[in-house]
Amino acid sequence: MSEALQLDHVGHVVADLPAASALYARLGFDLMPVSHHQTPGPDGRMVPAGTANQCAMLEQGYLELLMVTNRDAPSYSARENAGFLDRFEGLHLLAMGTLDAEATRARLTQAGMAFAPRQLGRMVDSPSGPAEAQFRLTPVNELTDGNSVFFFIEHATRELVWQPGLTRHPNGAKRLSELLIVADDPGAVAGRLDRAFGRAAKSAGDTLVWELERSRLLLATPQAAEARLGTPVARRNGANAAAFAVEVADLAAAGRQLAESGVRFVEHGGRLTVSQADCLGTAIQFCGDKP
């Protein structure tokens, strides 16, 4: 089976989930109900992980809002995300989709990249009642630090996550198309990403690009990122995810929706950008179907 690597989702770690979900609603996203994570306990049974989320499911990929509900929960989810939030609100969970976690792990091993397999679940509503969505995670050690966890994810229960009717949004969002990472020295990060994806980046001006399945990951300096976004980018220690882009069906209609909801944005480079300052530390771009 092919890995079919793509942007699966981005996790926006926030201090106040109700307030963040209200903001995302103003941005034009319909969110799923609050869902609480579970991780294996000492005896292997799934127990509360101390984190909860709401997701906006797209035709391809999704957006996650995550809040720590119990900092004392004995789970990696509570421990990591509490640490992330102590540094800044923003994008901390960088999830690359794979259709075959075992193939991805074998490739990473061959490339000499260490990882720590994880199991994660969360309860969701389904047509037949509450059910546990299950995920196989492969965090890549060399790309995980105090700013983010970079991991591959295989959905063991895709039918519970991408349910009919959940991918329609007032802003016309269709797919998660780009993730933008900034680093003062992109070259120091690029080699690790090459090995993680099993392919080399291409240069697009002053930005490095990894082409994935109908999506792509970008790496740039803060200055290049600002030129791309048309809005300021926060200076943070170490590489960090500054923004993501969502393809919409009708860019003009998406702009009208944002304006009617009172969301500030700028038109720049044929896209609409909501700045980091206006979106809890994460810039969001809305774009058409062209890169």
| 164-178: pLDDT as tens digits | 888 999 999 999 999
Let me know: does 39 contact 49? Beta carbons within 8 Å: yes
First to last CA, the chain: 28
| 242-287: pLDDT as tens digits | 999 999 999 999 999 999 999 999 999 999 999 999 999 999 999 9
pLDDT of residue 46: 82
Mean pLDDT (whole number) for 18-42: 94
CB neighbours (10 Å) of residue 178? 22
> Are β-strands 35-40 and 202-204 bridged in parallel, bridged antiparallel, or unpaired?
unpaired
Closest among 154, 152, 117 to 135, alpha carbons compared: 154
Long-range Cβ pairs for the range 76-85 (8 Å, 24+): 76/39, 76/118, 77/37, 77/39, 77/49, 77/50, 77/51, 77/120, 78/49, 78/50, 78/51, 80/149, 81/13, 81/51, 83/146, 84/13, 84/146, 84/147, 84/148, 85/13, 85/14, 85/15
| 95-140: pLDDT as tens digits | 999 999 999 999 999 999 999 998 887 878 888 888 888 899 999 9
Q: Work out the pLDDT band at 81, boundaries 50, 70, 90.
A: very high
Tell me, rounded to whole angstroms, the distance of Cα 242 from its chain centroid. 11
As a whole number of angstroms, the distance between CA 25 and CA 7 comes to 22
Mean pLDDT (whole number) for 59-69: 97
Sign of CA dihedral 135, 216, 175, 16: positive
Read off the DSSP letter of residue 34. P
Secondary structure of 124-144 as H, E, C letters: EEECCEEEEEEEEEEEEHHHC
Closest among 11, 217, 190 to 95, alpha carbons compared: 11
- pTM for the predicted model, two decimal places: 0.94
pLDDT of residue 121: 79
Read off the DSSP letter of residue 156. T
Read off the DSSP letter of residue 115. B
